[in-house]
Amino acid sequence: MKRVSFISLIVIWILFSSFCLTYWIINYSAGIIPNPPEVFWVWVIDVMGAYDQKTDAIILVGFIASILIMSVFTLFIWLLRHYIKLR
């Protein structure tokens, strides 16, 4: 039972991070989510070496951002669970 629970939590984690990435990419140009300044995109594209691939840069930055958001969320849940266990 613990193994099934662990695997299902990993699947939920991956699905939610994918949802965050997809939501950010879909709403990138709508202005709903604050976007990094243009200088940041120039730097990312320059680092990637693809001077005409802003879409690839958006996907890469979105992927990294979704992983960071999910990591912070996971840490928060873990600390909350640890705190509840102590009480």
The structural domains of the chain, with segments of one domain joined by +, span 2-86
In terms of pTM, does the model score above 0.75?
no
**Mean per-residue pLDDT of the chain:** 78
Q: 39-62, pLDDT tens digit by residue?
A: 888 888 888 776 667 777 777 787
Judge whether 50 and 57 are in contact, CB under 8 Å.
yes
User: Confidence class of residue 30 from pLDDT cuts 50, 70 and 90?
Assistant: low
Evaluate the CA torsion angle 45, 49, 50, 51 in order and state its sign: positive
Q: Give 31's pLDDT tier (boundaries 50, 70, 90).
A: low
